Chains A and B, each alone.
Chain A
Amino acid sequence: MKILVATSGVPFIRGAAEILAGSLLEELSEAGHEAELTVIPFKDYPPNRIPDQILACRLLDLTESCGIRIDRVIGLNFPAYLIPHPHKVIWLQHQHRSAYDLWDQPAAGGLVHSPDGPVIRETIRRADRELIPEAEAIYTQSLKVSDRLLRYCGIAAAPLYYPPANALLFYKSPPADYFFFPSPINAANRQWLAIQALAQCRERVRIRFAGEPGSRTQQAECVHAARKLKLNDRIEWLGGVSEDRKRDLYAHCLGVVFPPADEDYGCVTLEAMLSSKPVITCSDSGGPLEFVLDRQTGLVAQPTSESLAQAMDMLWADRGCGAAMGEAGRARYRDLHISWANVVEKLLC
């Protein structure tokens, strides 16, 4: 089959969505298909230009290339999943969440702060409600995303889990004295919460943060908070790291701290499980809760610095418990039968 994977991206920013799209492309090729990526550059400000980008997608014709039929379009993100095609399948990673559940969340950007925000929000919702059902099949990346799609748009879709990139390359090693926090630095990923928790730990817990900052301000705020709390000797800012380095950091950590606010999926959880490491997440973290079993494969803390500190203290002090949880996580991953073969089969059937 000739397949186009249609996604949206912010130029010069590479995150989980880009990695996922790349992985899907590889897996489709691996399965013998001719697959290519179509990335729609997306800019969500000013809000009144978002409808322009919906229209831009709608005006694209991806039915043929040089007279040869394109058999399938797989849409991943807003607004790229709105590109029309007679045999489109949507594997929904994200709707434009500031028009939905993150409408009034500080981390969600400017829609609520814009005078025309309510109208743009309704415009986005209308386009989603009207155009998503065009697809021949609709899947989502997680139960969380399915629930949201049903709640706001009345559209039912089954979750289709996927493994992290290079899942086979994750491994475990004897733990060193640090927790690993791998996520782009931004308000939604709540590095700030981990820093506050660290200040309340009884143990001399250390955290290594890896990930690009969403902005210089966000990075500066985190560094400033750490300095103010006199935590500089217990925190390392590694910035963006290579995939090899990332797997190494997973392999040698005591556990993974992953407390995002209402994350949709969170490959970090699966990467930790593949590395046989326990995951500390929060009860409002969303996607991770589909995989982390509290006190079995990790710890589910309340989204407060006190509760998160207690969880970190516990795994720091009881290494045996953490190791057992990590092993249980690895086993759970295996039991979930998360595989690209399954993903490809569903998206092309």
Chain B
Amino acid sequence: MQVLPVLARSHDVVLWTDQDQVSPEVHAIARVARYDPAAPPWREINNGTISIYHLGNHPDLHAGVWRVSTQQPGIVVLHDLCLHDFFFALSVRQGKERAAYRNAMERWYGQEGRESAEAFCAGGVSVQTMQQNFPLTREATRNSLGAITHCGRALEDLHETPACPTATLNLPYAAAGESPYRAWLAVRDGVPRPPYRLVVFGYLNRNRRMGAVLEALAGIGEREQFRLDICGQLWDESHIRTEIERLGLGSIVSLHGFLSGEQAEQKLGTANLAINLRYPSMGEASLSQLQFWDYGLPTLVTRTGWYASLPEDATAFVRPESEVADIQAHLRAFLADPGAFRVLGECGRRSLKNHDPESYVDAMTRFAAEALGLSPRVSALALARRVGGDLTEWLPAAGSPYLLERASKEIYTAFEGRRH
């Protein structure tokens, strides 16, 4: 919803979805069309200038998108870079005895990939090990004209650069105006202290480190000076409740579940410090982080993935290897000098100018035009693979270099367009 209104102002946008429910506000911005991933209406889809596919790690949301993207080349926007879990879940769901998953692992990581996939399927390797060693990012862009990520450094760290052109764009965020921002600051400043309000937001998966946050909070003597609001869907709520009880944090920590926009605004407007940890990171950029900055909230983040690239003067970093100690140190520092943390939040708020949706749409449009110009390369590469495969089947190795060279030259000349 950050990009769509801006994009729809300058382009004819059709939003294709296989989901049952679409937010009513979306209908007001662009035409919504539905597709069946098993039989997409290619004619209608093909009449768009370019398809932009949004992919992340959520099988329910992204399986259909992925399925279409593999058949109709377009621009893939990678909301997560580590997609191992997605492809594994997908193959299990499709009931293909995990063959697709194993093939993908072999395609990108060779024999080691296949063997690791088999070991993983047999329960012999941990999820974390697979995520770190085999992120399968390139599988998501296998048939793409281009890929957009929101974190170039994380992509480099993964060594999973796609074969297609890639653009790194700052995650877009339309910041609130100065007037509501000042109002939030006034509300925050007007509340008697302590206790200070800590807030955690979003889809709270395992990698959001809630255990470490609770342990850190429980382990400091000043814990009564804080209140922690956990807002969002927890991966295992009963486990978290048990932990809260075990650590004696019942009077300090509140679970709120998923909040409406108004409720979220109230919580963010009155919070003093946000905690936005990820480990391991899936390479994702965090819209929540930009939202925290919009409210001028200082934030604790893990020094990993996209978060590691955030401005030093706008965030307080937590090291994965010593996260409990780092969280505790930051909480104590906050108590000692809340003003210094307030400055962090203000710097974050200023950095939102780098996330302007207008700039994002301009850059995305330019990138899409470049990618379209290179689209014959997709069929050229497929053709090259077929030629190579065919020659390997019937031609002795000694004879193939000449033919391969001839074919390569002609494919290059005809489809790359560099002759003139």
Contact = CB atoms under 8 A, between A and B. Distances in A.
Interface of A: 48, 51-52, 54-55, 58-59, 82, 104, 112-120, 122-123, 126-127, 129-131
A130 B386 contact: no
Contacts of B382: 48, 51
A58 B42 contact: no
Contact of B414 (A55, A112, A117): A55
- A117, A126, A127: most-surrounded residue (chain B CB, <10 A): A126
A52 B383 contact: yes
Given A116-B72, A122-B375, A127 B414 contact: yes
Nearest to B414: A127
A276 B169 CA distance: 68
Nearest to A118: B46
Given A55-B414, A59-B406, A130-B414, A112 B387 contact: no
A127 B415 contact: yes
B414 A131 contact: yes
28 contacts: A48-B382, A51-B382, A55-B383, A112-B46, A113-B46, A114-B42, A115-B45, A115-B46, A115-B68, A115-B71, A115-B72, A116-B71, A116-B72, A116-B378, A117-B42, A118-B73, A119-B375, A120-B379, A122-B375, A126-B376, A126-B414, A126-B415, A127-B376, A127-B414, A127-B415, A130-B420, A131-B413, A131-B414
Given A55-B411, A104-B47, A114-B42, 19 more contacts: A51-B379, A51-B380, A51-B383, A54-B414, A55-B410, A55-B414, A59-B406, A59-B410, A112-B43, A112-B46, A113-B46, A115-B40, A115-B72, A117-B42, A117-B46, A118-B46, A122-B372, A123-B379, A131-B413
Interface in B262-287: none
A115 B73 CA distance: 8
Contacts of A58: 410, 413-414
B415 A113 contact: no
Contacts of B47: 104, 112
B417 interface: yes
Interface of B: 40, 42-43, 45-47, 68, 71-73, 145, 372, 375-376, 378-380, 382-383, 386-387, 406-407, 410-411, 413-415, 417, 419-420
Contacts of A114: 42, 46
Q: Is the interface of A mostly helix, strand, loop or mixed?
A: helix
The 9 A-B pairs of least Cβ separation, nearest first, read A115-B71, A58-B410, A123-B376, A115-B72, A126-B376, A123-B379, A127-B414, A122-B375, A51-B383
A126 B379 CA distance: 11
Nearest to B406: A59
A160 B420 CA distance: 27
A118 B419 contact: no
Nearest to B72: A115
Nearest to B50: A118
Given A113-B43, A120-B379, A55 B407 contact: yes
Contacts of B415: 51, 123, 126-127
Contacts of A126: 376, 414-415, 417
Contacts of B378: 116, 119
Contact of A113 (B42, B145, B372, B380): B42
Nearest to A128: B414
